[in-house]
Amino acid sequence: MNIIETLFYILQAVLFIYLASTVIYLFVFSVASILPLKKKINKTVGNRKFAVIIPGYMEDEVINDVAKEALKQNYPKDKFDVVIVADKFGRDTINKLKQLPVILFDEQFKISTKTRAINHALRLLPENEYQAVCILDADNIMESDFLTKMNQALCNGFLAVQGHRIAKNLNTSFAILDAISEEINNQLFRKGPRRLGLSSALIGSAMAFDYKFFKALMQDIEVVGGFDKELELNLLSNGNKIEYINDAYVYDEKVQNVRVFTQQRRRWLSAQFHYFGMHFGPATKALLKHGNIEYFNKAYQHMQLPRIILLGMLFLLSVLSFVFNHQICSYCWFATFSLLVISLLLSIPTRFYVPSTFRALLYLPVGFLFMLLSLLKIRGANKKFIHTKHTYNAFQIKKKKK
């Protein structure tokens, strides 16, 4: 064996260890996510007053319906306010919103970001008026009992709670793939970790927090991309736990074409690698010095490849090893690929096992290719505001959650 072959096998071994460890990690949480939930003992509930903050940027097509739906919570009417931060909305939209019993901040931010809009609302809202805050995106529709379930979790002692975000549209193949991806995330990074006593990941919307805690936390956060990652890393590095309520539903619009899919993933990838670089060293130190498993676990997640790239790479490596007759390598790669497929299948809700899903899976190679191209363009993507336009009408929701 010459030096080139030796280097080749060493590089392949390093790559295998990295990819296989990621797959084993995902498999553990996929199995944990289907374990029965331990019955919780709920403490006596008092109805906290919520500020439901909905920041929006040029969301004229959906915001009026979203605001109307937000007001329909099965929660005491004097115990929540819907707060809309309307950044660069049209005058007709603003006039319609003024007809609704909501708190409206009509703004024209020079630099538009989600964190800037939220902090603006927190500064303007009355002091000591609220005990809890709920964050939604401008396309989100809450189930009628969402605030009730968030309130219960906060009364159980949690400072941060993540709800179950679910697709409100499955009208294109990419919307289906996006919806499946969201549900896999819910299983692997929210439901699974909570079964094992770890914190849930945050998404960026469908979240609730203790109001004073959240306001103090947000004062130090001003980011363009990765708002949710900034929040959870701050929480976990300080020893706080994040709850996940699997049956607290918020409907969210899924991307409908490859262009938006790629644009959105590029921003997410950039934020992921940015926070990995910032936090992996401190998280490792916190693990070794203070035993902070939660913080390290989150930092480790940020070094993992997106699942669509992981799936495509393992498939290609399995095929190439077989073609070039590397039997031992091909067995290893194929076993790892198979374990990943099993992990993903365990994480996909049964309602997606329908013909439309199998047709959507034909677009996976397209998604894989565009995700690879996104990796070449991620530099600085989380530092530039990229707006994802929403158009799906709130009243088109089909409530299928099983």
CATH code of the domain covering residue 123: 3.90.550.10
Residues 18, 91 within the same domain: no
Domain annotation covers residue 3: no
What's the confidence (pLDDT) of residue 82? 97
Statement to judge: residues 210 and 315 lie in one domain: no
Mean pLDDT, range 351-364, rounded to an integer? 90
**Residue from 182, 264, 288, 198 nearest 235 by CA:** 198
Q: What is the distance between the alpha carbons of residues 129 and 367, in angstroms, rounded to a whole number? A: 46
- Greater confidence (381 vs 117) lies with 117
- Per-residue pLDDT, 335: 94
Residue 229's domain comprises 50-257
Q: Is residue 368 over pLDDT 60?
A: yes
pLDDT greater at residue 365 or residue 99: 99
* pLDDT score, position 13: 86
Contact partners, residue 194, CB within 8 Å, separation at least 6: 200, 243, 244
pTM of the predicted structure, to 2 decimals: 0.88
Query: Looking at residues 183-202, what average pLDDT do you find?
Result: 95
Please check whether residue 2 lies inside any domain of the structure: no
Task: Give the pair of three-digit tokens for residue 74.
Answer: 């099965």
Do the domain assignments include residue 277? yes
81 with 221, same domain: the answer is: yes
Q: Would the CA dihedral through 262, 267, 268, 269 be positive or negative?
A: positive
68 and 209 together in one domain: yes
Judgement on whether residues 216 and 244 belong to the same structural domain of the protein: yes
Residue 50, both tokens? 């919520």
Of 29-43, 208-222, 278-292, 333-347, the one with minimum mean pLDDT is 29-43
Average pLDDT over residues 129-146: 95
- What is the pLDDT confidence band of residue 340, given thresholds at 50, 70 and 90? very high
Tens of pLDDT, residues 42-69 = 776 789 999 999 999 888 888 999 999 9
Q: Is the pLDDT of residue 402 over 70?
A: no
Strands 103-107 and 80-87: parallel
Best CA proximity match to 198, nearest among 250, 146, 151, 241: 241
pLDDT at 155 over 50: yes
- Regarding whether 56 and 26 lie in a shared domain, the answer is no
389: in domain: no
d(CA 358, CA 354): 7
Q: What's the pLDDT at 378? A: 63
Looking at the structure, tell me whether residues 65 and 192 fall in a common domain. Answer: yes
Whose tokens are 């909305």? That residue is: 89
Q: Is the same domain home to 158 and 198?
A: yes
- Residues 283/238, Cβ–Cβ less than 8 Å: no
Sheet holding 103-107, edge to edge: 103-107, 80-87, 50-57, 132-135, 207-210, 160-167, 242-252, 141-142
Looking at the fold, whether 244 and 300 belong to one and the same domain comes out as: no
Residues 203 and 179 in one domain: yes
- Dihedral sign for Cα 69, 121, 214, 187, please: positive
- Do 154 and 288 share a domain, yes or no? no
pLDDT at 153 over 50: yes
Q: What is the per-residue pLDDT for 395? A: 46
**Rounded CA gap, 376 and 368, in Å?**
13
Instruction: Fill in the amino acid letter for 335.
Output: A
4 within domain boundaries: no
Max CA distance (Å), the chain: 78
The verdict on residue 204 lying in a domain is: yes
Residue 401 lies in a domain: no
- Number of domains observed in the structure of the chain: 2
**Contact at 8 Å (CB) between 167 and 254?**
yes
